[in-house]
Amino acid sequence: MDRITSFQTTRRIVMGPGSLKGLADEIKRLNASRVLIITDPGLVRAGVIERVEEILAKAGIPYSRFDKVEPDPRFEIVDDALAQLRAESADLVLGIGGGSSIDIAKVTAIMATNAGPVGAYFGIDLVPKAGLKTILIPTTAGTGSEVTPIAILSDHHDKLKKGIVSPHLLPDCALLDPELTIGLPPQVTAATGMDALIHAIEAYTSKNATSVTDLLAVQAMDLLFNNIRIACANGSHLEARSKMLEGSLLAGMAFANAGVTAVHAFAYPIGAEFHIPHGIANTIMLLPVMEFNLLGNLKKFANIARIFGQNTTGVTERKAAQLAVEAVRELAEDLSVPQHLSTYGVKEEHIPGLAEGVMKVTRLLANNPRVLGLEDAEMIYRRGL
């Protein structure tokens, strides 16, 4: 211990195949009387929400459903969810879905007890009061948002993704049932799984990493790297799905405390302006950022290479660190994740503006293992073209 640090996470985590069946008990444990389910239309179509509603109906718990969450949700969606919550007098928010539904659920719960507008809370520790009781159920092995004090929403006026960071965003309970991730198509499994893997890589190499977050990040990298190919190749492989969900949870716990670094910083401007899905934007930026960052912490990048199964015997630490990049490159190719920004219409002429955008993401750049300036940012985007 060389400095004062702290660690926080979700206080109750229930997980395992079939754990969804215990949902009613979790709601009763929190003494809630009316539930607002927050989700997206895709999960309604997939029949997942019907299963949740059956469990609530059987237990005699009144509920209503808000299913209008969109990908990269605009923060105005929160106002619609909040109006329904008030009309129904719900006292517990149940967020179920990918990162978008979960983040809207988290923000709706705090806006129920704090005066608006939502925009007033973008930033760090600006939310005065705890929100309504919240249970979060992720259906992708990705964001880890069920254990982070962060919500990311899109501001369509500024073309920016903005974050609310507050301990009040941590839910009362996270419920992780890998059976809910079985139906995810390979491309979504790949993109969300890469996002989770990047959370672990970035938490591990963050300047704010601690022995606790390292423990979580190392285990997360092992689980995610060694199961993502199987989960993409055979979506109904329950063991691989289970390990992916566990990996994304541990990665979430790690980065919620150690922070993410430049990969996420570079992903935000392109995600908002060119509508590149978060996991894909991260995967594209991972290789050029990792190559740049190696010098900032050769020892840890060399360890990552070993976790990723690279043979580092007899090579220098510099070469071993480079092998981590090679392992990631091979993985992205195997998973057929797009690897170039140009695929999404990003051109050379966009780079100066994007690089200026990334320099504003100071919250994340402060964690980066290597100091990064405007010219570096342009060079890194150029390598991602």
Nearer to Fe ion, 61 or 223 (CB): 223
Stretches 189-197, 230-238, 244-252, 337-345: which one binds Fe ion (CB under 5 A)?
189-197
Tell the smallest beta-carbon distance from residue 143 to Fe ion (Å): 6
Closest CA to 137 of 55, 226, 34: 55
CB of 230 to Fe ion, least distance (A): 22
Q: For residues 23 and 197, which CB has a smaller minimum distance to Fe ion in the complex? A: 197
Q: How far is the CB of 192 from Fe ion (least distance, A)?
A: 9
User: CA–CA separation, 207 vs 204, rounded Å?
Assistant: 9
Q: Does 177 bind Fe ion (CB under 5 A)?
A: no
Segment near Fe ion (CB under 5 A), from 39-47, 191-199, 215-223, 327-335? 191-199
- DSSP readout, 79-133? HHHHHHHHHTT--EEEEEESHHHHHHHHHHHHHTTS-S-GGGG-EES---S--SE
Q: Which is nearer to Fe ion, 127 or 256 (CB)?
A: 256
- The token duo for 218 is 């190392």
Closest distance to Fe ion from the beta carbon of 195 (Å) = 4
Query: By CB under 5 A, how many residues form the interface with Fe ion?
Result: 1
Instruction: Provide the minimum distance between the beta carbon of 326 and Fe ion in the complex, in angstroms, as a whole number.
Output: 23
Please, which residue, 194 or 377, has the CB nearer to Fe ion? Answer: 194
Among 195, 202, 214, 246, binds Fe ion (CB under 5 A): 195
Nearest one of 199, 202, 204 to 147, comparing CA atoms: 199
Question: Which range in 70-78, 188-196, 206-214, 300-308 contacts Fe ion by CB under 5 A?
Answer: 188-196
- Looking at the Cβ atoms of 145 and 166, the one nearer to Fe ion is 145
Tokens at 338, concatenated: 């797009």
Q: What does the block give as tokens for 315?
A: 């090579």
List alpha helices for 259-350, DSSP H: 262-274, 278-293, 298-307, 317-334
- Segment lying near Fe ion (by CB under 5 A), choices 35-43, 52-60, 88-96, 187-195: 187-195
**Closer by beta carbon to Fe ion, 302 or else 365:** 365
Could you tell me the smallest distance in angstroms from the CB atom of residue 308 to Fe ion? 19
Q: Tell the smallest beta-carbon distance from residue 289 to Fe ion (Å).
A: 13
CB closer to Fe ion out of 87 and 366: 366
Tokens of 87: 């009309």
CB-count burial class (<10 Å; 0-12, 13-18, 19+) for 71: middle
Tokens 């998973």 -> residue: 335
Cβ 238 to Fe ion, closest distance in Å?
A: 25
Q: How far is CA 295 from CA 118, 208, 322, 329, in A?
A: 40, 17, 10, 18
Structure token pair of residue 56: 């609530």
Q: Which is nearer to Fe ion, 63 or 255 (CB)?
A: 255
Beta strand 35-38 with 160-165 is: unpaired
- Specify the stretch interacting with Fe ion by CB under 5 A; choose among 15-23, 190-198, 239-247, 308-316: 190-198
List the beta strands (DSSP E) in 166-207. Answer: 173-176
* Candidate segments 76-84, 100-108, 195-203, 345-353, binder of Fe ion by CB under 5 A: 195-203
CA 123/CA 111 separation, integer angstroms: 15
Residue placing its CB nearer to Fe ion in the complex, 256 or 380: 256
Q: Please, are residues 342 and 368 in contact by the beta-carbon 8 Å criterion?
A: no
Please report the DSSP string for 339-371 in residue order. --GGGGT--GGGHHHHHHHHHT-HHHHTT-SS-
The residue ranges that bind Fe ion (CB under 5 A) are 195
